[in-house]
Amino acid sequence: MSLFVTFEGPDGAGKSTQTGLVAERLRSAGYPVTITREPGGTPLGERIRTVLLEPGECAIVPRAEALLMTAARAQHVVKVIQPALESGAVVLCDRYIDSTLAYQGAGRGLPIDELQELQRFAVSSCVPDLTFLLDMPAEDGLRRREDSGSPLNRLDRDGLAFHQRVQEWYRQAAPGDPERWLVIDALRSPDEIADEIAEEIIRRLRRRGVSAGANRKSE
């Protein structure tokens, strides 16, 4: 097993930019890397993503939203994440279980313990080794999304109060498990952030005795 790394945070915090920049750094240091994202990551997951994120696609009740996010995840774990980890790759995943707890739990108001039970059913023991919280105020993230010019998805359009509840959940969850969570100030430059994250991942890999170039099977 290599290392399963997830990126979490409010919309617009720069998670997908970071997965790309960090992957470049790890690959040039000689580590095999698989980048993936949720909801999505598999053909089924990408179809579920379209249903979930297209504005005006259909009214989705919170429990259906949680089940769809989690169904995409169950497929993702078996088809992408576990095989990549078994091949020795570092997996960089843009969102995972914590997004369901933050968005459907804190955001939509579904019971966190029931969502956690659902996650155990979906992913069994496939949990992240390391999670980076790209931390910035919810309003800054939403503003970045609006300024980016790309169309806003269904969840981006939920009100600021929804996104603030999500952000608050992340800020409370991270200190509860400091070995897994690392909080990153996402208002700094993308390169500075990527350097810090890549260094931490390499430190963890070395701690596990994984050396660069040990396995080059992955993409």
- Name which of 15 and 32 has its Cβ closer to ligand TMP: 15
Does the bond joining 175 to the residue before it have cis omega, within 30 degrees of 0?
Answer: no
Candidates 26-34, 74-82, 100-108, 196-204 — which segment interacts with ligand TMP by CB under 6 A? 100-108
139-158: contacts with ligand TMP (CB under 6 A): 153, 155
14 binds ligand TMP (CB under 6 A): no
Residue 187 to residues 14, 95, 98, 118, 172, Cα–Cα distance (Å): 9, 19, 21, 33, 19
Pick the closest to residue 204 from 184, 180, 187 (CA basis). 180
Residues 45-84: x/- map of binding to ligand TMP (CB under 6 A)?
------------------------x---------------
* Residues whose CB falls within 8 Å of the CB of residue 136, separated by 6 or more in sequence, listed in order: 9, 10, 12, 13, 185, 186, 187
Residue 100's identity, in one-letter code, is: T
Residue of 6, 18, 82, 100 that binds ligand TMP (CB under 6 A): 100
Rounded Cα distance, 192 and 1, in Å: 28
Contact pick of 2, 19, 36, 99 for ligand TMP (by CB under 6 A):
99
Asked if 41 is part of the footprint of ligand TMP (rule: CB under 6 A), the reply reads no
- Measured CA to CA, the distance from residue 10 to residue 36 in angstroms comes to 18
103 lies in the site for ligand TMP, by CB under 6 A: yes
Note the residues at the interface with ligand TMP (CB under 6 A).
Answer: 11, 37-39, 69, 95, 99-100, 103-104, 153, 155
